[in-house]
Amino acid sequence: MSVDTLTIARPDDWHLHLRDGAAMGSVLQHTARQFARAIVMPNLAPPITTTEQAAAYRQRIHQALPRELVFEPLMTIYLTDHTAPDEIRRAHESAFVHAVKLYPAGATTHSASGVTNVRRCARVFEVMQRIGMPLLVHGEVTSAQVDVFDRERVFIEQVLIPLRRDFPLLKIVFEHITTAEAVSYVREEKGPIGATITAHHLLFNRNSIFMTTDGQPGMRPHYYCLPVLKREAHRRALVSAATSESARFFLGTDSAPHAKGDKEAACGCAGCFTAASALELYMEAFDQANALDRFEAFASFNGPDFYDLPRNSQTVTLARSAWTLPAEFPLGDASVVPLRAGGTLQWTLQA
């Protein structure tokens, strides 16, 4: 399908990092310009572990939102070994907390307080399964004995399959999937399960971390994320899933702003900042796959349907019009470098 403009129902972002304070105030506008709603990650420092903390964070987001933009943050709470079932009930009753996030301890940014063993959360999962509260899973094991490129595959085998066996009705979102094994698992597994896919995992393989676009060697820290980019075969599997007719796959940017100095460091942070050009990047991936006719379902329908929320009635239009992505954006008193900084994007979100 080749078109020069595409109008779709306004999408939502089902996986987003906004940070807090001045940093959040800098990046929030980018997401609110593109998306109607977003599932907001709770891995602040300290993390959002209670409904009360989620309410306060939500208020800060609304206060930071530019007056001319309409945007609804969908809040989550951070699962720990000590989360009480009653906290899950309170979160569900709040109507503004829409999910619980499972970070394996040490898996990614600000995950030190995460779950050390999912068996410790059995009582919480029982409640979530009964009330229909989704569990959002960062699907990687953290054992030093497991190769970083295999952490997602091993997580499916060691954690996700037993979890689904014990709680077959638990609603799960396998977030930012990166492998053919994850695609197959989500496609074939019985019960309520979905998966988000990022634009960067659709567009790039692991070569992008270690060499330039013209094939020259060099470490590119702004392409480093967790889960890490994988082989080309896995990227192709993700594109096939995103552009398929399966409603189990939907848009989640995992946009993660880090200060430039924290990325370009001896031990650089994991995360790609894509909020400023998210829809344009996704459009590029779908355009390359000759699947623009499938984009609206992936971006605008599958997510709200999975979360039992209404689809957005507003629309957005993207046009085939080249533009140059800025090299940096403000991030509080620092700056953040977007993915593809200084590069040319082929699609433009019309104002």
**Active site amino acids:** 254
Backbone angles phi, psi at 249, to 5 degrees: -115, 130
Among residues 43, 42, 102, the alpha carbon closest in space to that of 75 is found at 42
Go through 310-325 and write b for each residue having 16 or more CB atoms within 10 A of its CB, e for each that does not: eebeeebebeeeeeeb
Instruction: Compute the distance between CA of residue 346 and CA of residue 343 in angstroms, rounded to an integer.
Output: 10
> Buried (b) or exposed (e) across 233-270, using 16+ Cβ within 10 A?
ebbebbbbbbbbebebbbbbbbbbbbbbebbeeeeebb
Helix H or strand E encompassing 33: helix 21-34
CA 201 to chain centre: 11
Q: How many helices (H) and strands (E) does the chain have?
A: 14, 13
Contact status, residue 323 vs residue 345, Cβ threshold 8 Å: yes
Q: Which of 183, 195, 137 is nearest to 162 (CA)?
A: 137
The answer, yes or no, to whether the previous bond of 326 is cis (omega within 30 of 0) is no
d(CA 273, CA 27): 10
Distance of alpha carbon 306 from alpha carbon 308, whole angstroms: 5
Q: Where are the alpha helices (DSSP H) in 65-159?
A: 85-94, 122-131, 151-155
Q: How far apart are CA 263 and CA 204, in angstroms?
A: 18
